[in-house]
Amino acid sequence: MDERAVYLNGSFVPESEAKVSIFDRGFNAGDAVYDVTRTFGHKPFKLREHNQRLYRSLTYTRIDCGLSIEEMEKATLELLDRNKHLLGENDDYALWQVVSRGIRHPSVNRRGSDSATVAIYCMPVDFRGFARHYVEGATVVVPSTRRIPPQCLESKAKIANKMNHIIATFEAKQADPRAIPLMLDIDGNISESNAHNFFFAMDGTICMPTTRNVLGGVTKATLLSLADGLGIKVVEGNFTPYDVLNADEAFLASTSPTIVPVKSLNGVRIGKETPGAITFRLIQAWNKLVKVDIVRQALSHLDTEERKQLLELWKEKLASF
């Protein structure tokens, strides 16, 4: 079978047959939570940790998904098993788990007005979307749209309504079509991007925004553990764009690309080299952890000429460290 399967409300169905009602609260109110992990070498990465974060989000939003965390994990692994044969050697999946509160209008809800909608699906990792960033570095831009403060909506919960981040992304891309937004909190301190945690390094120390107004990433926690193993000091605090502009290097962290070197902020170059020394060490440590060379894997998805050019540049960078 060449079509991916989807888990929807207790059943495995072909992707083209997976349908959700227009009366679903996730659709018409953004009343849903979600989580995403990915595979490395076709194996899921820290699925239990991602599920634990999903269930914390469910608790916060008062949604009962009707499944235990073990049942959610079992369904996710079975779905991956059903779809794994469609992966190429250098492909991997992003594993999405989305839970909404269910049907808004009881008269059309045959499953009962309090039944959540549970969907799990596999999306091929979009390596082409971030492959160049490993070698050239990503550009980040501070938009005018601020991160919703925790007094209004808890940042630690992974809420499906992403309009705040989407508007910030549009603003950043008006300045630079390839830019990633770096959102500030209402006090002007660095928060996070539309889909990444943000870090910068100064004098051999990693600096990161306080957890007060950012999503706690599983990738972030893993990178901090790797940094500890490498003897790299990490500090948390309130930092502004001024601090980043004077940093030695910066990087983003999220599920699919894992660690993304940052080249510039608002058009101003950060540091002398991209990636910087700490970013490079973390990439190498991650490769060892997951037993996949994440840079070469991503570059393998580019067109031949572009791939060759970027691989040569990456080899030059490897030789300089």
* Other Cβ atoms closer than 10 A to 311: 16
Query: In the prediction, which pLDDT does 2 show?
Result: 87
Q: Say how far apart CA 282 and CA 262 lie, in whole Å.
A: 14
Question: Structure tokens of 289?
Answer: 């952890």
Query: Per mean pLDDT, which range of 32-36, 85-89, 199-203, 214-218 is the poorest?
Result: 214-218
pLDDT at 114: 65
Widest pairwise Cα distance in the chain: 66
- Cα 235 to Cα 32, 65, 245: the distances in Å are 33, 37, 17
> pTM here?
0.93
* Tens-place pLDDT, residues 155-168: 999 999 999 999 99
Please say whether the beta carbons of 250 and 223 come within 8 A.
no
Which residue do the tokens 């570059």 mark? 299
pLDDT tens-place string over residues 255-275: 999 999 999 999 999 999 999
98: part of which helix (H) or strand (E)? strand 93-100
Q: Please tell me whether residue 204 adopts helix, strand or coil conformation.
A: coil
3-state secondary structure of 127: helix
Mean pLDDT of the chain: 95
